[in-house]
Structure 1
Amino acid sequence: MLSRKGLIPEDYLLTRLAEDVLQPKFKAKQGKARFVAKNGACNVAHTNIREQGRFLQDVFTTLVDLKWLHTIIIFTMSFLCSWLLFGMIWWLVAFAHGDLDQRGDDFVPCVTDIHSFSSAFLFSIEVQVTIGFGGRMITEECVSAIIILIVQNIVGLVINAIMLGCIFMKTAQANRRAETLIFSKHAVISVRNNKLCFMIRIGDLRKSMIISATVRMQVVRRTTTEEGEVVPLDQIDIHMDNPVGTNGVFLVSPLIISHVIDKDSPLYELSAPDLLHEDIEVIVVLEGVVETTGITTQARTSYVSEEILWGQRFVPTVSEEDGMYAVDYSKFGNTIKVPTPCCSAKQLDEVGGIAQFKLKEGVTLRASVRRRRGTMAVRRSRIESQ
């Protein structure tokens, strides 16, 4: 029975809070590479790409994908190169017009107070960053100088727009929001509603919600087609049984996402002993729209066969305290053992389902108990006769 102040059964309260203490320690198999890492990074290296020019056709995305150090270097060099280029142009204009020579008071230069390349470079900086110190200015003497002034202003605005937009996109990337979307360290397989289910737990640490959140699962395994073609990374979609009954999830508190292992599931023929030797990887993808920014975010993780616990289920994390629901994230990944058949879902269907399996197990158990009782009675009679 559930108490009024707590939604957690009392037998769960005896479990420890540390997830790593509860779970057995597994070592990854040697030679088995993950397709998706636990943090969501894809373990794929792109090599022998001959058409490198395709990246330059989408310069903005390429700049956003670069590391921060490379972005800052490009940001600095773009401004320095533009200042030096137009500084050289202003110096050439002044040299062609004769502004560098000493003239009388009636001489009107193209740009005032330009006497060397250093002064032309300083004037280029003042024009592009719209800083006017009052010493150097353009006059009406040269039409070419006016045209260069317009061109430099346009170039400066374009560089500012591209680089500031690139920095904004790097700071507001969707993967930053995915850092607070968490997955359970292990997946579990147990009986739920008289069906064998594959389950994981997801949660959101922020109070701002993920709108229209959806969860997708795929099984990545090595398969062979009927024609003998070997597919090293065959991605098979598996159907999700979301707790809210629709394609979207209301991720205001941690949810257990389950997959019913039926005849259409790629895990249909998988049993507990097979899980120890099967090289499979289950990829979980959580997508949604960030409520505060409106940017679509995606969080990913994966579970290999060593991280799938057979015959366990998750401990509840939600309790009612003082008229509101509280979530204890220290129990987020905790599991307990539950009675679960070690056979596959296919074998369960062959014997008539989980209900018939429990019935047969109960009959076998009662028969064994009766045999034990009969043996004990025979032993007692022999002792009494002696």
Structure 2
Amino acid sequence: MKMHRNRPQPSRLVGRKEKSTLNIVKLGIPRLHFADLYHKLLTLSWPQFFLLICLSYLVMNGLFALAYLAGGDCIANARHGSLKDAFYFSVQTMATIGYGAMFPRTDYANTIVAIEAFFGLWAVAMVTGLAFSKFSRPSARVIFSRVAVIAPFNGVPTLMYRAGNQRFNQILEAQQGVTLIRDEVTSEGEYMRRFYDLQLMRNQSRIFSLTWTVMHAIDESSPLYQLTAKDLMEQEIEIVITLTGIDETVSQTINARHSFVASEIMWNMRFVDIILRAPDGGRVVDYTRFHDVKPIE
């Protein structure tokens, strides 16, 4: 199968960071829409969230400080024309501290204080709600093997990879879906990126607490049938994995993503056994060798 030489090389669809993101650039769509402001704030990292709150706090108090200065000598015990005193008075008003050293002395100042107190209540409520929502968002501590392997299993070539629960609890009703993405050219000569769902030997685990070796038999019904490592590289395949389940601790649905490209699929290799038996009869999972593989015998 021949591909167009001048088309760009596709990048990995799913990132490999702990919180994997989709590597997609969307043109013609604004990055920030007012209707999606809440969603955008929830997706910010904690450092970005704290920086945004600090900047908003400084800007809001600075604007109210300028409003107080516009009213002239309207704050008792404040130095006339002092932006610093006006700023600190704004901070005390917004936080309802009320030390008593400075207080409004004119109707204009009382009006600005009333407006600032109203905005302060809204700001505290919104920041508290956003912080609680970020803290309460469920997250998955699921680890995937760095590589996938293709090796015989019961005489059939089988694609395998590992998944493990890094928390000391259980993921109930865990399900995994695997999608193969590869380059294809239609009979009309049009290039397209095709998606194929791979049939798994077991796609569900009622109690996911240890490790899970996911397997896909490469038989006549598999889109990987009779393909070689060179074919996978030429077709620039990517295997995308999604995992969903219910965290028993918070009783909320969690999800995780992962992907493998052709260079991360190892042929005629097996994963090292990491489930051991403790002296007291219990089971031990050795995560230090979670990613290790060995040649098949």
Report the residue type matching 2:170 in the other structure: M
Alignment of 1:1-386 (within 5 A): 33-39=11-17, 41-42=20-21, 44-46=23-25, 49-52=27-30, 54-66=32-44, 70-93=48-71, 95=72, 100=73, 112-114=76-78, 116-118=80-82, 119-138=85-104, 142=107, 146-167=110-131, 177-178=139-140, 180-231=141-192, 233-242=193-202, 247-271=204-228, 274-275=231-232, 278-294=235-251, 296-321=253-278, 322-338=280-296
Distance 1:193 1:227, change over 3 A: same
Cα shift readout 1:45-64 (whole Å, capped 9, x = no counterpart): 526x3442753432233234
* TM-score for the superposition, normalised by structure 1: 0.62
Contact 1:190 1:197 in 2 (8 A): yes
* Mapped partners of 1:77, 1:333: distance in 2: 43
- 3-state DSSP class of the match of 1:250? strand
Q: Cα distance, 1:114 vs. partner?
A: 4.9
Q: Cα distance, 1:112 vs. partner?
A: 4.3
- 3-state DSSP class of the match of 1:34? coil
* Mapped partners of 1:166, 1:295: distance in 2: 18
Distance 1:208 1:153, change over 3 A: farther
Contact 1:215 1:287 in 2 (8 A): yes
Distance 1:155 1:212, change over 3 A: farther
* Mapped partners of 1:113, 1:306: distance in 2: 71
Distance 1:164 1:337, change over 3 A: same
- 3-state DSSP class of the match of 1:149? helix
* Gaps in structure 2 of 5+ consecutive residues: 1-8
Tell me the C-alpha RMSD between the 2 structures: 3.4
Contact 1:286 1:299 in 2 (8 A): yes
Greater strand content: 2
Greater helix content: 1
* Mapped partners of 1:38, 1:86: distance in 2: 45
Larger RCO (alpha carbons 8 Å, 6+ apart): 1
* Gaps in structure 1 of 5+ consecutive residues: 1-30, 101-109, 340-386
Count of residue pairs brought into register by the alignment: 285
Question: Which residue in 2 is equivalent to 1:4?
Answer: none
- 3-state DSSP class of the match of 1:217? strand
Q: Cα distance, 1:332 vs. partner?
A: 2.3
Q: Cα distance, 1:234 vs. partner?
A: 2.1
Q: Cα distance, 1:193 vs. partner?
A: 4.0
* Mapped partners of 1:111, 1:306: distance in 2: 69
Query: Identity of aligned pairs, percent?
Result: 29
- 3-state DSSP class of the match of 1:58? helix
